[in-house]
Structure 1
């Protein structure tokens, strides 16, 4: 396994979409094209998923790869909320006055940067006049340091039942160098308050491969985590991309674990979590058997999009806010990355689309196969279709070395990920990625898979 990890420790996408954003066509779809795609994709019976990006943080976490705006000025809250509601009104004019909602996720940045009353105002404005489908899932990301009981209560009143806490590591040395400091007590308090309010699923984000991280420190973090018993855990590799995120230059590669040390961190975490009763779900996720994410995978309903793994698949994901990315099935669109440009465009009553991509016929075929591999560990090609047969043949040819290494099996038109291959999902999906193989320079765009 150590040799395989070294062999496949190459830059690789995380495949929250296909094509991946760096491989989108250079020419973005016009606003009219995107609006048509949105209208076509919306299905009232399935409802839509809604991602809302709240970019503000009071301090910079130096490991972070998200689009953020660092400020202690909370006067930015209401102008941004008003812009979000204006963007939402544009979309409601496109899909109809009373859309049905299946999912809402607040991401960041730090959603709990916003005052509880302002979050209530935002979500009330979003939901006003909308339908909420049975089994809808409302979730938000939070920083344990600034998440108050009032935050939890305000969002619970609106229907939020899922909470994700960014822990990363409890080791004080690691917390200091990544500028993400919170105590176990703070995490325990937020967790217990959320459970008392009826939150049904609590997730902890843990990261391996961080600067100054050690096996002893991570082990203590996992012991404390398992004592608190979150319903699910995202245990993922630190993505070191300082050419994209200059904040990561606050430490150097010398501060990072070596490839072999990072492997030990991953194996330690995976072993402790599995022994504690958690089950591996998709890629980088672990859940208790009672959690909805595990149940969704068991039922074949697990889905993956720009929000990560979800329990529901909707044909339309709308994304509000700076830099957020929407998915209409046949097209993607990303909002302006710069806050000032986003606000200015919304101020003119226009959708703030910065770039996008209209999926080709081949894109749609490959997207379906990659999604199956990421969510089900297996995919079946329709080889009676000449295009699928062609793409299947190309993928099987590229997968041959991975078959020899025991990571995947290819039997006729079926590609199956083995137990050992599950940790190499990014590498396996790369073999299907036509756009990557047709000239995209992954070396400068993606973090390493290991």
Structure 2
């Protein structure tokens, strides 16, 4: 690995799926404020919806998500009733019946729900909102528990994209993370989706896992390329056992050292590109025909809580426990604990737990950070003119970029900043220079690579 890049690879930085980032969200945020934001939305502008299902049928030891292991149907049935009620509350809070351009189900494992229950929620969504004819309707799934009946029902409900957490195919690594799914199982599930008309397929891969080597990861990528998903996301494993107790099952001694981890990231990215994918930002790859590639080529690539997206909406409304939403006025997060979430809904309230009202330079800095993360370049002064900012408003960021520039990782000049080819993997580090909250923050973040 490039020794200069290696010096920065272990720097802990946010993933910048939002700015300000989630650690800045304030507890006890007023539901009345959120209601006011919703009333001010432009009724003619399409929105996006995110539905969170925090349940899984099996526990993965690497997982850092807010999820619950479920063995009985009772909690799932009760959760569905809460989703139905929250959808109704949310729709009633809007200024008019809104159209939806993107709908994403995440988790957890949304396909842990019974097919009939998932259909009930989709029926409620269609009753409360207008799903546009070309809307993308995506769902995350687990091939270990997914049934042919569920796949058929998803197709009948209009889903257009399915995502799989492949992570790694090596048996030793799978045992270490408690996710046993042979490549044959995944290939069969992908084939079932395609035979039922759901052709857009996403795979998630992870580097930095216990007992993982570069050779093992490259073999996984070879198998993945044979299945030809439309998109591949390549994430670095974030070992945060102080947050995710299940990660305590993973011995830290089995994790790759920082140099090996960075080598895995670099070699995997090159292999995915060699397999016919275009690099999208720092951790996504897409076939040339895919919407992400098209958005990148046309300068329309965006970044939100689902990662890189071609979703142009400025409003993303979250439904379900712990879901996060974004409006032009600020961010909102639902109650993470399903009991507190359900009690708020039963009381006729939107289940707000945290929020953050945008102020000062937040929106401007967010725009710069998004362009860095999406394009590897940004012109802070040109963007600043859109917000009435004075030339050179980003002097603090320019100062923080001096070492990176001296090391040939970023170019800073009159036309803004551009990551060099060497510096491209360090977009998070460059973006962090514009994060006015980070220097005083206490939140712990994952390594840049």
1:281-302 deviation per Cα after TM superposition (whole angstroms, max 9, x unaligned): 0120111111111111111111
Q: Please list, as runs of the form range in 1=range in 2, the aligned pairs for 1:7-26 lying within 5 A after superposition.
A: 7-24=8-25, 26=26
Partner Cα distance (1:377, 1:341) in 2: 41
Q: Please list, as runs of the form range in 1=range in 2, the aligned pairs for 1:40-79 lying within 5 A after superposition.
A: 40-44=40-44, 46-79=45-78
Contact 1:41-1:315 at 8 Å conserved across structures: no
Q: Please list, as runs of the form range in 1=range in 2, the aligned pairs for 1:255-294 lying within 5 A after superposition.
A: 255-294=254-293
Report what 1:37 is aligned to: 37
Partner Cα distance (2:29, 2:42) in 1: 18
- Once the 2 structures are TM-superposed, how far is the Cα of residue 134 of structure 1 from its aligned partner? 4.2
1:143-187 deviation per Cα after TM superposition (whole angstroms, max 9, x unaligned): 011122222221222221111111110111111111111121111
How large is the Cα RMSD of the aligned pairs? 1.7
Contact 1:317-1:328 at 8 Å conserved across structures: yes
Unmatched tracts of structure 2, length 5 or more: none
Q: Please list, as runs of the form range in 1=range in 2, the aligned pairs for 1:63-212 lying within 5 A after superposition.
A: 63-96=62-95, 98-212=97-211
Judge which range, 145-154 or 283-292, deviates more: 145-154
Partner Cα distance (2:399, 2:267) in 1: 34
- Once the 2 structures are TM-superposed, how far is the Cα of residue 105 of structure 1 from its aligned partner? 0.5
1:9-51 deviation per Cα after TM superposition (whole angstroms, max 9, x unaligned): 1111000000111123x4654111111122323442x311100
Contact 1:6-1:259 at 8 Å conserved across structures: no
Residue 448 (structure 2) pairs with residue 446 (structure 1): no
Residue 342 to residue 433, structure 1, CA distance change in 2 (3 Å): same
What secondary structure is seen at the aligned counterpart in 2 of 1:204? strand
Judge which range, 260-269 or 106-115, deviates more: 260-269
Contact 2:41-2:94 at 8 Å conserved across structures: no
Partner Cα distance (1:41, 1:416) in 2: 34
1:95-114 deviation per Cα after TM superposition (whole angstroms, max 9, x unaligned): 14522011110000011111
1:268-322 deviation per Cα after TM superposition (whole angstroms, max 9, x unaligned): 2112111111110012011111111111111111111112211112121000111
Partner Cα distance (2:133, 2:309) in 1: 16
Contact 2:103-2:138 at 8 Å conserved across structures: yes
What secondary structure is seen at the aligned counterpart in 2 of 1:370? helix
Report what 1:420 is aligned to: 422
Report what 1:431 is aligned to: 433
- Once the 2 structures are TM-superposed, how far is the Cα of residue 430 of structure 1 from its aligned partner? 0.5
Q: Runs (4+) of structure 1 moved beyond 6 Å?
A: none
What secondary structure is seen at the aligned counterpart in 1 of 2:60? coil
TM-score of the aligned structures, taking structure 2 as reference length: 0.95
- Once the 2 structures are TM-superposed, how far is the Cα of residue 390 of structure 1 from its aligned partner? 5.2
Contact 2:314-2:327 at 8 Å conserved across structures: yes
Partner Cα distance (2:15, 2:409) in 1: 18
Residue 403 (structure 2) pairs with residue 401 (structure 1): yes
Residue 98 to residue 246, structure 1, CA distance change in 2 (3 Å): same
Residue 302 to residue 386, structure 1, CA distance change in 2 (3 Å): closer
What secondary structure is seen at the aligned counterpart in 2 of 1:132? strand
Residue 316 (structure 2) pairs with residue 317 (structure 1): yes
Q: Please list, as runs of the form range in 1=range in 2, the aligned pairs for 1:229-378 lying within 5 A after superposition.
A: 229-378=228-377
Residue 193 to residue 388, structure 1, CA distance change in 2 (3 Å): farther
Unmatched tracts of structure 1, length 5 or more: none
Residue 41 to residue 421, structure 1, CA distance change in 2 (3 Å): farther
What secondary structure is seen at the aligned counterpart in 2 of 1:36? helix
Contact 1:365-1:388 at 8 Å conserved across structures: no
Contact 1:42-1:316 at 8 Å conserved across structures: no
Partner Cα distance (2:196, 2:236) in 1: 32
Partner Cα distance (1:282, 1:332) in 2: 23
- Once the 2 structures are TM-superposed, how far is the Cα of residue 232 of structure 1 from its aligned partner? 1.0
Partner Cα distance (1:195, 1:187) in 2: 12
Partner Cα distance (2:250, 2:207) in 1: 16
1:30-80 deviation per Cα after TM superposition (whole angstroms, max 9, x unaligned): 111111122323442x31110000011122211101110111112222211
